[in-house]
Chains A and B, each alone.
Chain A
């Protein structure tokens, strides 16, 4: 497989010097995100997130399986991130790179371990039957800040998703098809989002939000903060790189909170818009005389 092209020395210095003068190549502020777009697919549980040139597609699915024997009361919830050569030819099929491992670990910590999805509600028959919810993250195009975009897509897909309705009658479990009963949403507790800071300069004195791929290649370190709109921090990951001053890290988390509030506002807005679009009949349909009584 061809290796990823590294930025040349000139490119590297150009980016760094510009940052020292508080300038970015695309003319953004240091703490400004690229335009974030969220679109939902025709079916439930498909979220297409575009962040500048980065594009991530997440799809949530559910099926009935047997729960793990050590957790008979819990459903199964997995996030699958597999980077295909579509992202970049340097990614090989069925061989996890470092980027992929770090991405799936961070998503796991942010969404799964923070208890965003109530897994107990996925249990159907204790120890015998449960829902297995799976989110597949497809990275279509990678231009930096994959973590934030992927996390946003996963949360959007899960909040948009509807699983088939079920009923228990005299010990018999019935799973209804979409034609029989309208699917039901998951029991969602809170929406965590990731905000990734990239550090530049010798002591990491320049903190930059939403780095592009070129910036990611020349940064000296990065730190991902995951939190929800209430300011509850789910995790902070600073994996190696240049040590950063504690005070500036505190500054970063407070800026992250304002960004997360913007994210959750955007997501709420898009979800209600989508709901309105789907609910074509709405109130008028209820008022119709030919409504089946």
Chain B
């Protein structure tokens, strides 16, 4: 399996959902659909704001505790960027179907895994943001997410952006960070052993991936083509995906 190093996405892939997106990056392929605002069930209804419902469905097997945990993390961070106060008593439903996750060729995968695989979170997060954009759900900001692994190899520290399953296995700690388009930290999940200084390093690395500034040159937005820049430029990726979506939507003009 050749893991794509460059993120790829398509919006509006499902004809019947309000908004949908297919996202593939670092070996993960996720399809997401967004329906909303729709009528909420009585138990989910909130008098002042919309209820954001996130459903994560694994590629094989039925969702368990692991998926519920991922859902709760995604739900709380997405509810921060969606303008939930605009739609009281309604529901915004986000369904994320994992289609493929990278496999470790040296281990036979088990269907039911108790441990949490947090390195899938950026893919899920990015899919839901793109699907929300495709559905036209009003949001405060657009968010970008990335996974960073810290590993110690013969005494030297190393930060790996978008680690493979094998790298996750050998890494000392794995972190998932998400930033809004105002460069604010939205989500920080960590797993493993690390010090505060190490976390600061991770923060800086993730920030470089998620919030790379686009330099203005004579009124034209240009992306810095840094040689030393590590990892993909997520913000530029979301922007170019939406640009192509708008271009196809306005094709008739």
The answer to whether B14 and A86 have CB atoms under 8 Å apart is: yes
Q: What 0/1 pattern do residues 75 to 109 of B give for CB contact below 8 A with A?
A: 00000000000000000010101011001011110
Chain A residue numbers with a CB within 8 Å of B55 are 84-85, 93
Whether a CB of chain A sits under 8 angstroms from the CB of B159 is: no
Chain A residue numbers with a CB within 8 Å of B60 are 59, 61, 134, 136
Whether a CB of chain A sits under 8 angstroms from the CB of B62 is: yes
Which of A46, A63, A136 is within 8 Å of B110, CB to CB? A63
User: What 7 additional pairs, Cβ within 8 angstroms, besides A89-B35, A138-B97, A177-B108?
Assistant: A41-B100, A42-B1, A59-B59, A86-B31, A86-B97, A89-B93, A138-B57
Tell me the total A-B contact number using a CB cutoff of 8 A: 85
Q: A138-B97, A179-B105 are in contact. Are A143 and B1 (CB under 8 A)?
A: no
Provide the bound-state CA to CA distance between A55 and B97, in Å.
13
Provide the bound-state CA to CA distance between A168 and B60, in Å.
28
Provide the bound-state CA to CA distance between A205 and B14, in Å.
34
Q: Which residues 70-86 in A have Cβ within 8 Å of B in the complex? A: 80, 82, 84-86
Whether a CB of chain B sits under 8 angstroms from the CB of A281 is: no
Q: Which residues 21-43 in A have Cβ within 8 Å of B in the complex? A: 41-43
Whether a CB of chain A sits under 8 angstroms from the CB of B39 is: yes
Chain B residue numbers with a CB within 8 Å of A57 are 97, 99
The answer to whether B95 and A86 have CB atoms under 8 Å apart is: yes
- CB B131 to nearest CB in A, in angstroms, measures 10
Which of B1, B17, B39, B41 is within 8 Å of A43, CB to CB? B1
Q: A84-B57, A89-B93 are in contact. Are A143 and B16 (CB under 8 A)?
A: yes
- CB A150 to nearest CB in B, in angstroms, measures 15
The answer to whether B41 and A1 have CB atoms under 8 Å apart is: yes
The answer to whether B31 and A140 have CB atoms under 8 Å apart is: yes
Provide the bound-state CA to CA distance between A250 and B105, in Å.
50
B107's nearest neighbour on chain A, judged by CB, is A177
Whether a CB of chain A sits under 8 angstroms from the CB of B15 is: yes
Interface of B is mostly: loop
The answer to whether A84 and B97 have CB atoms under 8 Å apart is: yes
Chain B residue numbers with a CB within 8 Å of A63 are 108, 110-111
- CB B82 to nearest CB in A, in angstroms, measures 17
The answer to whether A2 and B15 have CB atoms under 8 Å apart is: no
Chain B residue numbers with a CB within 8 Å of A164 are 108
Whether a CB of chain A sits under 8 angstroms from the CB of B173 is: no
Q: Interface residue tally of chain B, by bracket?
A: 20 to 34
Q: What 0/1 pattern do residues 210 to 240 of A give for CB contact below 8 A with B?
A: 0000000000000000000000000000000
Q: Interface residue tally of chain A, by bracket?
A: 20 to 34
Provide the bound-state CA to CA distance between A54 and B222, in Å.
41
Provide the bound-state CA to CA distance between A150 and B193, in Å.
45
The answer to whether B108 and A140 have CB atoms under 8 Å apart is: no
A65's nearest neighbour on chain B, judged by CB, is B111
Q: What 0/1 pattern do residues 33 to 75 of B give for CB contact below 8 A with A?
A: 1010011010000000000000101011110000000000000
B contact residues vs A (CB 8 Å cutoff): 1-2, 14-17, 31, 33, 35, 38-39, 41, 55, 57, 59-62, 93, 95, 97, 99-100, 103, 105-108, 110-111
Whether a CB of chain B sits under 8 angstroms from the CB of A141 is: yes
- CB B245 to nearest CB in A, in angstroms, measures 18
Whether a CB of chain B sits under 8 angstroms from the CB of A88 is: yes
Chain B residue numbers with a CB within 8 Å of A55 are 14
Provide the bound-state CA to CA distance between A133 and B159, in Å.
39
A-B contact pairs, 12 of them (CB 8 A): A41-B100, A42-B1, A82-B62, A84-B55, A86-B17, A86-B57, A134-B60, A136-B59, A140-B33, A164-B108, A177-B106, A177-B108
A176's nearest neighbour on chain B, judged by CB, is B108
Provide the bound-state CA to CA distance between A2 and B37, in Å.
11
Chain A residue numbers with a CB within 8 Å of B2 are 42
Chain B residue numbers with a CB within 8 Å of A178 are 103, 105, 108
The answer to whether A80 and B106 have CB atoms under 8 Å apart is: no
Chain A residue numbers with a CB within 8 Å of B16 are 53, 87-88, 141-143
Q: Which of A2, A57, A86, A175 has the most CB of B within 10 A?
A: A86
The answer to whether A141 and B15 have CB atoms under 8 Å apart is: yes
Q: A53-B15, A80-B62, A85-B93 are in contact. Are A134 and B38 (CB under 8 A)?
A: no
Provide the bound-state CA to CA distance between A84 and B99, in Å.
14
Provide the bound-state CA to CA distance between A175 and B35, in Å.
43
Q: A2-B39, A63-B110, A134-B60 are in contact. Are A43 and B105 (CB under 8 A)?
A: no
B34's nearest neighbour on chain A, judged by CB, is A86
Q: What 0/1 pattern do residues 104 to 147 of A give for CB contact below 8 A with B?
A: 00000000000000000000000000000010101011110000
The answer to whether A140 and B14 have CB atoms under 8 Å apart is: yes
